C-alpha cells in the first residue's frame, strides 16, 4: 500500500467544492439536519451536574456541539475528512466502494459548483 499522496489538481478542486457543499448543507441550507443541529446545540448549554465521569462526558458533548454548530470550524475539519475519504478510496477501498466514494465526492463538488454558478448562495 502506497502511503504517498499525489492528488491531481482536478481532485483537489473536487475535494474543496465537496467540502463546501457538505458545510452548506449542514449549516445553512439543510432543513433535513435542523433537528440534529438543534440537539447538538443543546449539548453546549447543559449544566453538567453529576459525578466526574458524567461531567467529563457532558464536557466532551458540549465541545462536539460547539464544533458541529461552527461553520467556520467545519470548513477546516470537513476538508480533512473528505481528503481522508479520497485517500481511502484510492489506496484502501476495493471495487465498487472506491468508485462509489470518488463519485460521491465528485457529485457533491458538482452540486456546490452548480449552486455557485447559479448564484443561489452568497458564500
Joined together, the cell numbers standing for residue 64 give 462536539
Residue ranges per domain, the chain? 9-117
DSSP 8-state assignment for residue 6 = -
Indicate yes or no: pTM above 0.75.
no
CA dihedral 18→19→20→23, nearest 10 degrees, is 120
Q: Along the 123 residues of the chain, how does pLDDT read in single tens digits?
A: 555 667 787 888 888 888 888 888 877 766 777 777 777 666 666 555 566 666 677 777 777 777 777 777 777 888 888 888 888 998 899 889 999 999 999 999 998 888 888 876 555
pLDDT at 49: 58
Amino acid at each position: 500500500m502506497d502511503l504517498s499522496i499525489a492528488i491531481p489538481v482536478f481532485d483537489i478542486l473536487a475535494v474543496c467544492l465537496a467540502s463546501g457543499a457538505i458545510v452548506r448543507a449542514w449549516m445553512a441550507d439543510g432543513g433535513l439536519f435542523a433537528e440534529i443541529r438543534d440537539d447538538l446545540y443543546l449539548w453546549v448549554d447543559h449544566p453538567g451536574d453529576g459525578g466526574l465521569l458524567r461531567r467529563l462526558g457532558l464536557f466532551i458533548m458540549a465541545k462536539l456541539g460547539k464544533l458541529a454548530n461552527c461553520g467556520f470550524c467545519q470548513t477546516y475539519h470537513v476538508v480533512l475528512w473528505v481528503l481522508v475519504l479520497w485517500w481511502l478510496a484510492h489506496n484502501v477501498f476495493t471495487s465498487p466502494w472506491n468508485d462509489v466514494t470518488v463519485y460521491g465526492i465528485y457529485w457533491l463538488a458538482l452540486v456546490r459548483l452548480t449552486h455557485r454558478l447559479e448564484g443561489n448562495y452568497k458564500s
